[in-house]
Amino acid sequence: MYRPPKTTEASLPNPEMGDSYAIFETLFESSPDPILLTDREGRITRLNAQAEQVFGYGRSELIGNPLEILLPERFRAVHPSHRETYLAQPRKRPMGLGLPLFARRKDGSEFPVDIMLSSVETPDGLAVLSVVRDISERRRIEEALREHEEQFRSVVQGVKDYAIFLLDREGRIASWNVGAENIKGYKAQEIIGQHFSCFYTPEDLKKGKAQEVLRLASEAGRFEDEGWRLRKDGTTFWAHITITALRNPAGEVVGFSKITRDFSEREQAEQALKRSEEHLRALFEFSPDAIVTSDSSGTITEVNSQIEKVFGYKREELVGQSVEMLIPERFRRSHPAHRREYNAHPEKRPMGAGLELYGRRKDGTEFPLDIMLGPVETGTGKVVMSIVRDLSEKKEQEEALRRVELEKRYLEEELSLEHGFEDIIGESIGLKRVLKQAETVAETDVTVLILGETGTGKDLVARAIHRLSARRERTMAKLNCAAIPTGLLESELFGHEKGAFTGAIAQKVGRLELANKGTLFLDEVGDLPTEVQPKLLRALQEKEFERLGGTRTIPVDFRLIAATNRDLGKMVADREFRSDLYYRLRVFPISIPPLRERHEDIPLLVRYFVDKHSRALNKKIEVIPSDVMRALTKWSWPGNIRELENFIERAVILSKGPALRAPLSELETVEAEPPSPSDPTLKTAERDHIIRVLREANGMIGGPDGAAARLGLKRTTLNSKLRKLAIKREDYI
């Protein structure tokens, strides 16, 4: 059994270095990442508190033990040879090399890590400093993003800071985005079809680097690398590349995706710092996070090089200035009070506290961050060290995943809907007038209000306007205001932040945000709650909104189409609907005539529905008897096209031969022309018809065999008609 020698924690650079030593000591102990110091034999001589927490060991359990105790068993045998190779030529190895590294906790569980190595001269001799970062969450997000590669294609084409392109199986370039053009200098027509080896230096080509990269990606599935690459003009840049093998269902490699980032500035900075003998400064400078130290008054005393990447300021622009420069304006007034409270009770505040924090860059943009605070005693006084981690990329990836999932789910819902018919069918003058109006307004971005009874096809007209508009390539998000409980409608429309209300366990993107650059269709807008109406009006006028429970204003560009079967003018008079929203919606009203005013369209619709449902039910109906067609044409159809389709579907089900057999007993067939909409007998006929259907359904309103389904109406619409026509339960039971 191995018994570690009795050792004490190793000393790091000389304490006589004063402020720098104090800063280093605090940074070492309060780093959000585990830090380990090992001697030439690989024995652990020192570790920080985060290492204890992440690996599950106490310091006494690790100090004096070989580093291999923290490695999975499958790597322990080869690790000493890697250590000897490194010590033969000690150098700084940065994070982000893409090596498949794993660590092992005390309980035996493994997790993926990224490691920065640096040699350090200590009073006890040469040592190796290892900064370890748990990248489990990053790996999870990367895997999820790969699964949605196709859905991100349109986003990829607009990315300017990443060169993202596809290769075929032999390495020829098959696609090219804007970022690739910016970084490498080639236009798509110049480079597509060329072999990607044209980006490698002559030295790498002699080594067969291009072929080796494809081989490694094929074997491992994914390969990351850094090195010098060539632009079109012959200049070189330091690139970080990620190449992923694309496989068909059979598991065969059919191509590769390749992402390249220009890390020239980072590489130049690293090369300069590698030549520096100030190892403490190197650790401070090369922290993966931005570091700021400030005194009790909030004046910045020092920053590291990462500050420019995160905040956009150079060191000389910040030192001596107030730390409020890095805080959004809306938080600046309250920040001094928080600083005084912290100065009164200084203590380490770790990352991951769940606070919603934001930083402000030099260009005025804001970004989400996490921050760790810790007091540091120096020779010139006490300072506060702030380690700032930019969460933008993580938030953007999570937001992108949520958006893709929502759009995918929404698209699946749209595709699964039974639209009734693909195009609007009819040749009546009233319908042609509606289609002409839709064609005219589609070319603009103005708000459209579609009016008409239930079942007249308002949603089809809305969809037609979207298809004819310049926004047809983007999403048409639909929200039925009558189908969603009042308490949830605001969340469905605007979305909500995590914790906005009981049950809001995650952030939700609303339909308004999904409609960005596209169209928002609000069906049954007359049922929009009065408390939500002013928020919709603001979104229409200001083109911005906030999620429920959120403080961030989100800009949105959408075209609104609303529809209703209710008399909004009367609702305004009765103070049930805001007049300012009503007039904002009624910029371009389109009234769809009911089916009783389009009798000449009924034969076309009947034939269409007979053909549609015959094919769906695997029947062959070739004849529609004239008496059936005459009866269908003369009926007033209070449920309009939806009722007609449901009636035809039942008729097709009942038909046994080639002739349509329709249950005409459900209709009140009359020889004369049906009464006009203003005739009171029409209301009576509609009332009697609804009562008859309710009796046939044994009083059931909802369900597949209920009266609403038989009439081709929604349950909420039928309930509304029952109240309007004063139909009581005793009338049909």
- The 3-class secondary structure across 469-510, one letter per residue, is CCCCCCCEEEEECCCCCHHHHHHHHHEECCCCCCCCCCCEEC
State which of 68, 101, 135 marks the end of a domain.
Answer: 135
For residue 156, name the pLDDT band (cuts at 50, 70, 90). low
Question: Three-state DSSP class for 245?
Answer: strand
In a domain, 141, yes or no: no
Top pLDDT among 583 and 717 is at 583
Furthest-apart CA atoms within the chain: distance in Å:
110
Give Cα 268 to chain centroid, integer Å: 34
In a domain, 212, yes or no: yes
Q: Which domain holds residue 488?
A: 421-591
Query: Are 599 and 421 contacting, i.e. CB atoms less than 8 angstroms apart?
Result: no
* Other residues' Cβ atoms within 10 Å of the Cβ of residue 18: 12
Question: Domain holding 446: CATH number?
Answer: 3.40.50.300
In this structure, are 435 and 493 located in the same domain? yes
What lies within 8 Å, CB to CB, of 288 at 6+ separation is: 33, 95, 116, 131, 133, 306
CB-side neighbour CA atoms (13 Å) of 132: 28
Pairing of strands 125-134, 35-38: antiparallel
The token duo for 538 is 């603001």
Q: What are phi and psi of 131, to 5 degrees?
A: -105, 120
Top pLDDT among 500 and 271 is at 500
Q: What are phi and psi of 66, to 5 degrees?
A: -70, 150
The average pLDDT across 314-334 equals 91
In this structure, are 248 and 305 located in the same domain? no
For residue 665, name the pLDDT band (cuts at 50, 70, 90). confident
In this structure, are 461 and 575 located in the same domain? yes
State which of 228, 263, 298 marks the end of a domain.
Answer: 263
Residue 417 has pLDDT above 50, yes or no: no
In a domain, 598, yes or no: no
Compute CA distances 279 → 91, 119, 218, 413, whole Å. 11, 8, 39, 58
The average pLDDT across 654-664 equals 90
Question: Domain holding 701: CATH number?
Answer: 1.10.8.60
* Number of independent structural domains in the chain: 5
In this structure, are 679 and 723 located in the same domain? yes
In this structure, are 435 and 581 located in the same domain? yes
Report the C-alpha gap between 251 and 508 in whole angstroms. 36
In a domain, 410, yes or no: no
In a domain, 3, yes or no: no
For residue 610, name the pLDDT band (cuts at 50, 70, 90). very high
Residue 661 has pLDDT above 50, yes or no: yes
DSSP string, 692-713: HHHHHTTT--SSTTSHHHHHT-
In this structure, are 493 and 607 located in the same domain? no
Flag the least confident range among 405-409, 453-457, 688-692. 405-409
In this structure, are 529 and 461 located in the same domain? yes
In this structure, are 220 and 348 located in the same domain? no
Residue-wise pLDDT tens digits, 482-494:
888 877 899 999 9
In this structure, are 250 and 106 located in the same domain? no
In this structure, are 29 and 109 located in the same domain? yes
The average pLDDT across 690-703 equals 83
pLDDT the model gives residue 609: 93
Question: Domain holding 313: CATH number?
Answer: 3.30.450.20
Residue 305 has pLDDT above 90, yes or no: no
pTM above 0.85, yes or no: no
The token duo for 455 is 């079942």
In a domain, 399, yes or no: no
In a domain, 140, yes or no: no
In this structure, are 487 and 609 located in the same domain? no
In a domain, 356, yes or no: yes
State which of 591, 617, 633 marks the end of a domain.
Answer: 591
Residue-wise pLDDT tens digits, 492-537:
999 998 888 877 777 888 999 999 999 999 999 999 999 999 999 9
B/e letters for 375-403, b = 16+ CB within 10 Å, e = fewer, are bbebeeeebbbbbbbbbeeeeebbebbeb
In this structure, are 709 and 679 located in the same domain? yes
